[in-house]
Each structure stands twice: as structure tokens, then as C-alpha cells.
Structure 1
Amino acid sequence: MPGRVRIGTVAEFSDGELHTVEVDGTSIVVGASGDAVCAALNRCPHLGLSLTKGPGGTRFSDGEVVCPWHNSRFDLASGENLDWTPGVAGRQMPRWSRRMIALGKQPAPLTTYEVVVDGNDVFVVL
């Protein structure tokens, strides 16, 4: 059912850290960059794998999250894809290998959620 769901307080989402929350059985990544708190489905659009668990480790800085599986890079606020499948498990691969790593999938954005900060509380809108 759509609506606002409280996911924590402003203090719980430190600048430059990526957190995972469960909302109605859905895993969501939440990150703070500067004054903004942003949220997206915890699934890379490439293969549907977790953005927070994988061989490349969790990487989030300056509002950008990097998939730990194939290094795809996304703007967490907009979901925009900034780089599509440039590597494997945190390692950059030669440019010619990107199409092979992509497995025929075209670049796609993250599924993002609206975040509302009301006083000290942080809500995600589903």
C-alpha cells in the first residue's frame, strides 16, 4: 500500500554512508550526501543483484553508488546510470569487454524512492 514509511532519524544516516532498510519485505538502500537523504531499490538493474553485498564491497561517495558485482555507477538521488558494467568484483576491465559483461542488457537507471525528512524523522514514500 503506497504511503510514507518511517525508516529512521536524520542522525542514523551519516553523510557518505550507505544503509540498508527493509520496508514491507523490500530491501532499500539509503544514503546521505550533504543535506540530502536519498533512497533506491537495493537491486542493480543489470542483473538484479544487491548493491550492498557482493565481491566488490559497498561503495558510496559524493551521492554515487557503485554496484559491487559489475561496477555500474549510479546517482542515488536520480537513479541515473553514470557508467554501465565497466568491471567485475571491484576491478576495472578493458573497455572492449563491457558488452560481454553487460550480457546484452542496455544501461538502465535505479528504481528510486522519494524521501521525506519531517523534523528529525526520515520517511520513504512507496
Structure 2
Amino acid sequence: MPAVPPRPCPCGSDDRYDACCGPLHLGARQAATAEQLMRSRYSAYATDDVDYLLRTWHPRTRPDRITPDPSLVWEGLAVTEVVDGGEDDITGIVAFTARYRTPDGAGELTERSRFDRRGTRWVYVDGDVA
């Protein structure tokens, strides 16, 4: 039986999923920057990892539940702006455009997301959707 090639990470990095967002989803490590958290959250949406999404959402703004849309397929991510959110910051902003496809056609979601560091962990606070 041939080996299954490693899959690329949905976040758009040049790394494999098991070396990029996978360890964050499994809790093996934490996102070091706001951008890394945003990319890992996109990957969580792409892989339907609802637990990770809830774990990385600020408790003040986190919804009670997330219900994925099985007809929606995330197809790509482009980060368009990063303001702060580095390893020594306590807040950060990451703007992005995410492409998706539904049975009705293709679309894009553009958001400018806000992140806070709580202790040693970055969390998603909220975002402005364009």
C-alpha cells in the first residue's frame, strides 16, 4: 500500500498541516502570535474543529455553540494586514480574506479581527466583517 502524502495546511502556509496548525488544534502548543492564531482558526473552520474555535475565543465574546455549515467549503486564505500581535504584545489585529464555495457558488469573507493575550495564550475577541 502506498504511503499517504502529508496534506498541506489549510491556512495557506507552505507547511504541512501536521507541522503547522495541527499541533495547535491538538493542544500540543499555543499560537505564538495573533496571526498564527488567526491562521489556525481558519484551519479549524476548514477542518470543522469546533472545539478549537471555542477554546480560542475570548470568554467575553464567545458564543455558546458553533454549528458548521456542511455545504460550505473553505478554499483559501489571504492575510492582508497585521498590526501588533507579536510575541511581546498584548493585543493584535489581523485582517484577512477567506475564499469559500457553497452549492450556490463561490464567495469571500473579509474581516479585520481583534485578538488579546490572556496570560500566555492569544484569543480571538471579535472582528469587523466587510
Instruction: Provide TM-score, normalisation by structure 1.
Output: 0.29
Q: Which structure dedicates a bigger proportion of its chain to strand?
A: 1
Q: Which has the higher contact order (CA 8 A, sep 6+)?
A: 1
